[in-house]
Amino acid sequence: MQSKNKKFKKELVVKSSTDNLAQIREFTQIAAQESGFSNENVGKIVLAVDEACTNIIKHAYKYSPVGDINISVRLEQSKFIISIIDEGGHFNPDIIPEPDIREYHKKRKAGGLGMYLMKKLMDEVKYTNLNENRNQVILVKYLT
């Protein structure tokens, strides 16, 4: 593992298309690896960011490929912080109930677990409406 005092910041801006998810995953993977995370935690971070961006594409932009997704990652002390900003429709995470995983599995549902996964994979997940047309999700993973 690398020094916990290392600091850096990187940024990626892509259009809101599922075609860009591979680029987002690669960007996130490289940044998490450079921060010193284990392969297991790199995988968790990449999956959480992928889920967040997929939700933005589906729900905030309703599959319109013209919106921007701005992803910035930074390492400060022992916190890896991912900020994802979009200008799509607003989202209130409080209206999404915690899923019953047994029921979900029993009914063989597909999709709908993005927020649940993000919360399980990351140490902190925070949604903010920055203003009337900008949303931000912040995902944090501690480097231990």
- What distance in Å separates the CA atoms of residue 110 and residue 124, rounded to the nearest whole number? 25
State yes or no: pLDDT of 31 exceeds 60.
Answer: yes
Q: Given this model, what pLDDT does residue 52 score?
A: 95
- What distance in Å separates the CA atoms of residue 23 and residue 20, rounded to the nearest whole number? 5
Q: Given this model, what pLDDT does residue 3 score?
A: 46
State yes or no: pLDDT of 2 exceeds 60.
Answer: no
* Inter-residue contact 78 to 49 (CB < 8 Å): no
pLDDT per position as a tens digit, 74-118: 999 899 999 999 999 886 666 666 656 565 555 555 556 678 889
pTM comes to: 0.86
Maximum C-alpha span of the chain: 47
pLDDT per position as a tens digit, 32-76: 999 999 999 999 999 999 999 999 999 999 999 999 999 999 999
CATH domain 8-142 topology: Heat Shock Protein 90 (3.30.565)
Q: How far apart are the first and last CA of the chain?
A: 9
